[in-house]
Amino acid sequence: MSAADFLFLPPVIAHRGVRSQAPENTLAAFKKAREEGILWIETDIKLTHDGVPVLMHDDTLDRTTSGKGPVADMHWAEMGKLDAGSWFNPSFAEERVPLLAEALRYTLDNNMRINLELKPCPGRTQATVMVTLIEAAKIWPHDYPPPLISSFDTEALVIASRLHPDWPRGLLLDDWHDDWRDRLSKANADSIHMKADVLSAERMHQFVKAEVPVLAYTVNDPLRAKELLHWGVRAVFSDNPKEIAKAL
Ligand code: G3P
Ligand code: MG
């Protein structure tokens, strides 16, 4: 299976949930996506110090929680108590750092789709991939479309391909590289998730010709989204997915 087999309808993925309306990577941000009729959610996965997979973008807790310091230094017992919403707005003070398991159950219960971006803290690639995929496989029904796995980390994708060859994998790239074919093949991935700013019609044409599915991040301008989709991008990651979907 590859990202090409998914129906992205609408072709918009809520980036860290709907992070323009709720604190990123919280269940409140997932709920916004459901309320707005957005089927797909992208979220970032890291491990706590004691190896519990959680939703978290940064290597440190400071920006998006009431905690401080590296995510990799805190046990789940402590992290689970942090306020993950007040930084965004005091009305979200009850939000906690979600467990991967909670995010997956929310996705399944609401008949949604999920892109798990493996974002290992430094030196924790193997553990992050293994724990995440083993835990996800325990929860995920065999007859439900699998999660889309992605990472900037080539090693993470290779490990994921060994654990779950049938789960689609996307290589994240934050810049243009002429050797993208080699990078894709070294990562054992089937799609490219490309920073939108560096995409052009000519570059997209290379991917389309090679039949490599491309997703583009982060696109908040509806006109730019239309252009990218017109060039053949399968879906865009957006902080305001409803606005994008409405304009298409
Ligand atoms: O997966 C797309 C996008 O989320 C990658 O960048 O930093 O927002 O995780 P970042
Ligand atoms: Mg991400």
Tens-digit pLDDT profile for residues 206-224 = 999 999 999 999 999 999 9
∠ Cα 57 121 39 (to 5°) = 35
Cα 86 to middle of ligand 2, angstroms? 21
Catalytic residue ranges = 15, 57
What are the two backbone dihedrals, phi and then psi, of residue 132, each rounded to the nearest 5 degrees?
-65, -50
Cα 217 to middle of ligand 1, angstroms? 7
d(C-alpha 248, C-alpha 241), whole Å = 11
153 lies in some domain = yes
Q: Is the CB of 217 under 6 A from ligand 1?
A: yes
86 lies in some domain = no
Q: Per residue of the chain (248 residues), what is the pLDDT tens digit?
A: 788 788 898 999 999 999 999 999 999 999 999 999 999 999 999 999 999 999 999 999 999 999 999 999 999 999 999 999 999 999 999 999 999 999 999 999 999 999 999 999 999 999 999 999 999 999 999 999 999 999 999 999 999 999 999 999 999 999 999 999 999 999 999 999 999 999 999 999 999 999 999 999 999 999 999 999 999 999 999 999 999 999 99
Ligand 1: atom nearest CA of 115 is 1
pLDDT of residue 103: 98
pLDDT of residue 2: 80
92 lies in some domain = no
Domain that holds residue 189: 3-56+98-247
CATH of the domain at 213: 3.20.20.190
Ligand 1: atom nearest CA of 15 is 4
88 lies in some domain = no
Ligand showing the shortest atom-to-Cα distance for residue 148: 1
Q: Is there a contact between 20 and 93 (Cβ–Cβ < 8 Å)?
A: no
pLDDT of residue 54: 99
Q: Whose CA is nearest to atom 2 of ligand 1?
A: 217
Instruction: Select from 44, 45, 197, 219 the residue to mutate for testing ligand 1; criterion: most ligand atoms less than 8 Å from CB.
Output: 44
Total residue count of the chain as it appears in this document: 248
d(C-alpha 78, C-alpha 181), whole Å = 43
Cα 15 to middle of ligand 2, angstroms? 7
65 lies in some domain = no
90 lies in some domain = no
The model carries a pTM of 0.98
Count the domains in the chain.
1
Closest CA to 220 of 23, 5, 12, 8: 12
Burial class (CB in 10 A: 0-12, 13-18, 19+), 127: middle
235 lies in some domain = yes
81 lies in some domain = no
What are the tens digits of pLDDT across the range 119-157?
999 999 999 999 999 999 999 999 999 999 999 999 999
pLDDT of residue 4: 78
Q: What is the number of other CB atoms lying within 10 angstroms of the CB of residue 3? A: 23
pLDDT of residue 200: 98
Q: Whose CA is nearest to atom 7 of ligand 1?
A: 57
